[in-house]
Amino acid sequence: MNSELKNSELNLRPLAIALAVAAALATATIVTVATALPAYAAEAATAEPAEPASKPWLDKSLSADKRAKLALDAMTQQEKLGWVLGHFGADFANKTKKHPAALPFSAGYIPGVPRLGLPALFETDAGLGVATQLSKTPRERTSLPSGLATTATWNRDLAYQGGAMIGKEARASGFNVMLAGGVNLLREPRNGRNFEYAGEDPLLAGTMVAQQVKGIQSNNLIATMKHFAVNDQETGRFVLDARLDDASNRMSDLLAFQILLEQANPGSVMCSYNRLNGVYACENDYLLNQVLKKDWGFKGYVMSDWGAVHSTVEAANGGLDQHSGWEFDKSAYFGGALEEAVENGHVPQARLDNMVFRILHAMFDKGVVDNPVKEGGAIDYDAHKLVSQADAEEGIVLLKNTGSVLPLKAGAKKIVVIGAHSDVGVLAGGGSSLVYPIGGNPVPGIEPTIWPGPVVYHPSSPLKAIKARAGGAKVVYNDGADPAAAAKEAADADVVVVFAQQWVGEALDAVSLALPGNQDALIGAVAKANPKTVVVLETSGPVLMPWVDQSAAVVQAWYAGSGGGEAIARVLFGEVNPSGHLPTTFPVSESQLPRPKLDGDPKNEKQRFTVNYHEGAAVGYKWFDLKGLKPLFPFGHGLSYTQFSYSGLAASQKGGKLQLSFKVTNTGAVKGKDVPQVYVAPVGAKWEAPKRLAGWDKVELAPGESKEVSLTVDPRLLSMYDSKSKTWRVAQGGYKVLLAHDAGDAKATSITVQLPKQTLNVAGQPTK
């Protein structure tokens, strides 16, 4: 897209929606807009070929491969072309009207071929639930807590359950493609979309999002791994050129995608806006043809992000299979232009056939054809809220708890709750992934009210949930607008709970990691007035905490979703023993980051620039280890109301794989869940950083109880990737295995194992 159309980010999308809303209010607007629009009616007017006498591709006993091939063979050229051009599900500025068959205010629509029994594709965002494009009448659905919160559970099963739940709501809402499966690595803590993703470690991120994707696809839907690839900041996302060498990429960002793909087999992949090493991701032969389709054997289809296409021939030959929401781009590149390019041979007919084959393959493989969706299905919102709440409860991370101020004890006379609209709800992140809350937004009107807003709170009130558990205590709320007044109110309380927040969203990175507005001053003043101050953070990701030493406890609650208020209160009162662990490092200051200052200029989004990922594969804790930096809270950190100890770490090798076992014991007085983490570190060989996460488990233990845990290490995590030979290589020698509570655990138990030399192919499989 040219830089002018970058405006679709900050201007055109909201303009589109604004126009839609205006159109509903003013007939004159409708007339004006309508005349400028393409006539979708032409589609219907084209004479349809006859329905075939038999439709062997509908035979469920055949393989997806066979069915896709049979269906493809039965198609006309026009029918084939119809699959590769997607339409936006809302009016787009003064350019186009919503496709009449698209679900209102949805992300996208691709017409089906009814004469062949092939349904249309109805696309919805995204990873936290069923979203709606900016609208006055949004779908109200259940929202999961943020992706980082789900990842912070380190609980595979919860990630699956969350995916299954939102997939169910998508199906009941008439959608068969969920644009969910975001796994961009957290290289940039200020990235406005970190809350949609799964943190800084490729194994953790790939594994957790894979579970979500599996859950979604268990509903016979297509899920979408995105944004492929190295779309790691929002500032300048349409124009930036991410520079990262192949080997580093394969061991970091790409590894997260590769793991997700292997474990969950998503039907589609969304290529991203940015360039990678000079080439736009959606026409990037290296990314799409070489890595994704050839090296990893991806059988589904690549769809573009909305507004990420810049060409017809380059994109088609570069591996893009479906042009999404074409209205966002300068031209309908995969419309008439593609037809012509195929006619004159610039794009081979076989390539068009393969594009369609891939789409059909995903549709058959995931059950989209055999299980048609229908809008208006029943949704059990009460049950779904509990799924979301269970996720939030395990994702909340107890960062600090001095003097055991938490869990809150019975017998308090006065509890003061301050700030962040905690009287009425919990914050959500902004952009296309926003799930509009059931019952509406309790805090309307906060800027920005248009893209990437609105700023929305889920009406699950922490204050109400705290009151319900406070026994005889008087619970007082203060909105935190005036730090001095809040401090005065807090001074004589038995305990103070200050909520702080950071709203970010798609297209909008955090300008800094400092809490916005007066919140640092507020927390500082309150903690000074009353040392029994508990800080609850509702942030996308890491923030700076200049007041950390003054506070008694810090609770990272992320964007907590539909049941967030209850989840927070249950953790505060000990009904839930916290068991979340950080999926990302919290730095002391931005000067510790590989890029102390964010690249690009949010005020000049047209200027092309380069982001040089000089840290290579040393992302997050790996960077901190490499540079000997001590973070505020390390990756993997998370406290509990009990304690756990480890013993008996032992290693063996089976079938070329390193296997580990150990025992976890709950040495405290209450039941709890632990996340024992295994890191590996080469003794002689040199990696991008001193150590890597190689495995973990989540175990629930009663007081005094022990459990045996065994893990198998993916040999890629013991290798360096070699670009020249396209192999993963384990160097012969000693490797330290550390059993730790977090990446910064100085008391980690360790053993050293000797590993033989091993070579794995590009897909991570042993070679002879």
Catalytic center residues? 305
Smaller CB distance to ligand BGC: residue 107 or 760?
A: 107
Smaller CB distance to ligand BGC: residue 126 or 544?
A: 126
Rounded Cα distance between 271 and 282, Å, is 5
CB distance 717 to 259 below 8 Å: no
Could you tell me the smallest distance in angstroms from the CB atom of residue 226 to ligand BGC? Answer: 6
Could you tell me the smallest distance in angstroms from the CB atom of residue 107 to ligand BGC? Answer: 4
Smaller CB distance to ligand BGC: residue 127 or 565?
A: 127
Smaller CB distance to ligand BGC: residue 133 or 252?
A: 133
Smaller CB distance to ligand BGC: residue 213 or 342?
A: 213
Could you tell me the smallest distance in angstroms from the CB atom of residue 670 to ligand BGC? Answer: 41
Could you tell me the smallest distance in angstroms from the CB atom of residue 82 to ligand BGC? Answer: 20
CB distance 12 to 328 below 8 Å: yes
Binding site for ligand BGC (CB under 6 A): 107, 125-126, 179, 226, 305-306, 432
Rounded Cα distance between 743 and 373, Å, is 45
Nearest to 760 by CA among 150, 65, 295, 308: 295
Both tokens assigned to 569: 């209160």
Smaller CB distance to ligand BGC: residue 126 or 569?
A: 126
CB distance 565 to 577 below 8 Å: no
Please state, in angstroms and as integers, the Cα–Cα distance from residue 575 to each residue in 190, 472, 521, 566, following that order.
33, 18, 31, 10
For the packed helices 156-172 and 202-217, what is the interaxial angle rounded to 10 degrees? 40
Both tokens assigned to 511: 């300008």
Rounded Cα distance between 577 and 599, Å, is 40
Could you tell me the smallest distance in angstroms from the CB atom of residue 287 to ligand BGC? Answer: 16
Could you tell me the smallest distance in angstroms from the CB atom of residue 289 to ligand BGC? Answer: 22
Could you tell me the smallest distance in angstroms from the CB atom of residue 255 to ligand BGC? Answer: 21
For the chain, give the number of residues: 768
Nearest to 579 by CA among 567, 591, 564, 590: 567
CB distance 269 to 225 below 8 Å: yes
Q: What is the 3-state secondary structure (H, E, C) of 272-308?
A: CCCEECCEEHHHCHHHHHHHHHHHCCCCCEEEECCCC
Both tokens assigned to 738: 């550390």
Phi, psi dihedrals of residue 25, rounded to the nearest 5°: -95, -25
- Residue matched to tokens 């029918």: 79
Smaller CB distance to ligand BGC: residue 305 or 742?
A: 305
Q: Which helix (H) or strand (E) holds 87?
A: strand 87-89
